[in-house]
A and B are shown apart, each in its own frame.
Chain A
Amino acid sequence: MTALARRIAASGSFYAAVVVLVTFSAFPFYWMLITSLKTDGDLYNLDSNPYWFNAAPTLAHIEYLFTDTLFVRWLINTALIGLCVVAITLVVAVPAGYSLARTPGRGGETLGIGIFLTYLVPPTLLFLPLSRVISGLGLQDSLWSLVLVYPTFTIPFCTWLLMGFFKSIPREIEEAAIVDGCTVVGAFVKTVLPLSVPAILTVVIFAFTLSMQEFVYALTFISTSDEKPVTLGVATDLIRGDVFYWGELMGAALIASVPVAIAYNLFLDRFISGITGGAVK
């Protein structure tokens, strides 16, 4: 074999490996797409090749989803929950992260780690007692229960992320503002916050996507159809008895997944440096 042939063979097997990997990860999404565009006759026919259209593609499932189901309502619910959670998270985590970053000695770091560790407390451990708390508060079957509970995992993660960021801002900038007559809070608002726009944007994206991905609390707290977020509504309400509306289901799953996937890809590196505690730059 010549060197050139060997190189071609090597790059060929390299690309083959990449294709295998990508197929494994992305095939279910291709499957969502093609299922949502097939006619029922094509979908439920064992003889036809499932990988491609055997009848003309149709938008009937998508149309049904938007006109005859609560899908749009669920999307709105998810957006509403996400926005409220983002607001609560910012109001709580920005000052907390700043305070931890500026606490002298190891106290701030230790407290910060303590708060971060609550991110490891899973919904599975708390959904039972919280469901009793929620029903005690009269919030059962209301999306406001999720607005109340989701910050329990967004606040710890975002506080941690912001703490790391605020530490990287030199203290001299605030001190200069204080010398110029600002209060400590004024210096924070006028000098640190404007510098923190990228970090705060990251927090907004993560608080939103984390609350959009959650399933356990929603499943536990909410059983009224029109209060459900999209993840729960699609998974539980597009099934009548034993009949699965696969075209609608897959279309809904795909449509709701796309924005999260894009957001994640854009902010992936920040998420990683957050989760590894800044060990990776």
Chain B
Amino acid sequence: MTALAVDAPRPKSRFLLDRQEIIGPLFIAPAILYVLVLVAMPFLLAIYYAVSAYTIFDPTYRFVGLKNFTDVIASEVFRRTLINTFVFTIGAQVIGLVLGKFGAMLLMQEFRGRGIARALVVLPWAVPVSLATLAWQWMFDSLYSVINWTMIAVGLMDPAEPWQWLGQQDLAMVAVTVVHAWRLFPFAVVIFIAGFTSVPKDVLDAATIDGAGFWRRNYQIILPIIMPIAVIALIFGTVFTFTDLSVVYLLTRGGPMNGTQVLGSLAFQVGILSGDVAHGAVICLFLFPFLLVAVIFLLRMLRRREI
């Protein structure tokens, strides 16, 4: 870029607009500023709140050290919340990936109506999460649940004792996990399709001629090729599930009895609804080590891609 062909003198007013070493930083500055002011600064603010006695009602920055952290860790509800968050995340990823692989293998075939099928499969991931979750809330209704109606109709459920999907802890866990997996699997489908189609056909043909069977082709050729993409998808999916609070907030409000509480919803309840910003900030910060791991993995994947 330094080797621009012309060095002819130009009018002075255009001088600044001509200097690439000035324009480069000038062009990138607003983006960096935005991220610094509205991402980095709030993050530091969160740390600050976490070590102070700040509440909405008493906004003092009295330093209390790690007391808020020990308070939170000591609480029964928090430990339950932490476990829930992992259960939801892992459960949803596993179901999502299995369905994603299954869906991708189906939708890669040529068949009539494939376009429509793909569009319908992508829906759960495309529409706003809060609106989609409302539909599930109605499907899990305590009285008019269509799922219960169907199970009663086919004789799988006792009409006298319909299941309370959102009112019993174990069922509520299942409900939230299913909704998360439902939201996530279209993403996995799309990523898997993209991955499979990026495997060169001649490589596969050559392997087949050399005697590689179905499993060998699957695990020794296709898998290594699509691995980077699959891992990136997995990282995004994990981060989005782990940090989500809308599904839990809308379906169960964290209940019954904090049985489905996740880090996000608990932080919302403590920090916003109860106004205890300091303890809420501590709960949020527990997301951070997890995010850091995700970021490191993602960085490695992106670097590997470049080489």
A interface residues, Cβ below 8 angstroms from B:
14-15, 17-18, 21-22, 24-26, 28-29, 31-32, 35, 43-44, 46, 50-51, 91-93, 95-96, 98-100, 102-104, 109, 111, 113, 115, 117-118, 120-133, 148-149, 151-152, 155-156, 159, 171, 175, 178-179, 183-186, 209, 212-213, 215-216, 219-220, 231-232, 234-235, 244, 246, 249-250, 252-253, 256-257, 260-261, 264-265, 268-269, 272-273, 275-277, 279-281
Residues 105-155 (chain B) with a chain A CB within 8 angstroms: 106-107, 109, 111, 117-136, 138-139, 141, 143-144, 146, 149
Which residues of chain B come closer than 8 Å to A91, judged between CB atoms? Answer: 30
Whole-angstrom distance from the CB of B260 to the nearest CB of chain A? 16
Give B115's nearest chain A residue, CB to CB: A265
In the complex, the answer to whether A95 meets B28 with C-beta atoms within 8 Å is yes
Task: Judge whether B204 is part of the interface by a CB distance below 8 angstroms.
Answer: no
In the complex, the answer to whether A220 meets B102 with C-beta atoms within 8 Å is no
Q: Known contacts A25-B186, A117-B298: does B128 contact A50 (CB below 8 Å)?
A: no
In the complex, the answer to whether A35 meets B138 with C-beta atoms within 8 Å is yes
Which residues of chain A come closer than 8 Å to B109, judged between CB atoms? Answer: 14
A52 to B135, CA, bound (A): 17
A26 to B126, CA, bound (A): 12
Option from A102, A124, A249 in Cβ contact (under 8 Å) with B134? A249
Whole-angstrom distance from the CB of A22 to the nearest CB of chain B? 5
Task: Judge whether B280 is part of the interface by a CB distance below 8 angstroms.
Answer: yes
Which residues of chain A come closer than 8 Å to B205, judged between CB atoms? Answer: none
Task: Judge whether B240 is part of the interface by a CB distance below 8 angstroms.
Answer: yes
In the complex, the answer to whether A152 meets B267 with C-beta atoms within 8 Å is no
Q: Known contacts A50-B149, A184-B20: does B106 contact A21 (CB below 8 Å)?
A: yes
In the complex, the answer to whether B295 meets A21 with C-beta atoms within 8 Å is no
In the complex, the answer to whether B130 meets A268 with C-beta atoms within 8 Å is no
- Among B4, B31, B118, B125, find the residue whose CB has the most chain A CB atoms closer than 10 A: B31
Which residues of chain A come closer than 8 Å to B45, judged between CB atoms? Answer: 129, 132-133
Give B134's nearest chain A residue, CB to CB: A253
Give 20 A-B pairs besides A235-B134, A265-B118 with Cβ atoms closer than 8 angstroms. A17-B102, A22-B121, A25-B123, A35-B138, A99-B25, A121-B291, A124-B264, A128-B277, A131-B272, A132-B49, A133-B42, A152-B39, A184-B19, A184-B23, A185-B17, A209-B126, A234-B131, A234-B134, A257-B131, A260-B127
In the complex, the answer to whether A46 meets B305 with C-beta atoms within 8 Å is no
- Among B111, B123, B236, B240, find the residue whose CB has the most chain A CB atoms closer than 10 A: B123
Which residues of chain B come closer than 8 Å to A131, judged between CB atoms? Answer: 272
Ranked nearest first, the 7 interchain pairs of A and B with the lowest CB-CB distance are A122-B243, A264-B126, A95-B27, A99-B27, A96-B31, A129-B45, A28-B135
A152 to B30, CA, bound (A): 12
A133 to B42, CA, bound (A): 8
Whole-angstrom distance from the CB of A229 to the nearest CB of chain B? 9
Whole-angstrom distance from the CB of A53 to the nearest CB of chain B? 14
Option from A25, A117, A256, A272 in Cβ contact (under 8 Å) with B299? A117
7 A–B contacts, CB within 8 A, in A order: A22-B117, A24-B99, A133-B41, A155-B31, A175-B4, A215-B246, A268-B122
Task: Judge whether B163 is part of the interface by a CB distance below 8 angstroms.
Answer: no
In the complex, the answer to whether B198 meets A281 with C-beta atoms within 8 Å is yes
Among B62-70, B212-220, B226-234, the stretch that binds chain A is B226-234
A235 to B128, CA, bound (A): 11
Whole-angstrom distance from the CB of A114 to the nearest CB of chain B? 9
Q: Known contacts A121-B39, A148-B38, A178-B4: does B195 contact A26 (CB below 8 Å)?
A: no
Q: Known contacts A96-B27, A216-B264: does B126 contact A261 (CB below 8 Å)?
A: yes
A132 to B128, CA, bound (A): 26
Whole-angstrom distance from the CB of B129 to the nearest CB of chain A? 6
Whole-angstrom distance from the CB of B302 to the nearest CB of chain A? 5
A133 to B256, CA, bound (A): 32
Option from B2, B32, B119, B146 in Cβ contact (under 8 Å) with A31? B146
Whole-angstrom distance from the CB of B110 to the nearest CB of chain A? 11
Task: Judge whether B176 is part of the interface by a CB distance below 8 angstroms.
Answer: no
A183 to B20, CA, bound (A): 10
In the complex, the answer to whether B246 meets A216 with C-beta atoms within 8 Å is yes
Task: Judge whether B14 is part of the interface by a CB distance below 8 angstroms.
Answer: yes
In the complex, the answer to whether A235 meets B131 with C-beta atoms within 8 Å is yes
Option from A14, A261, A280 in Cβ contact (under 8 Å) with B194? A280
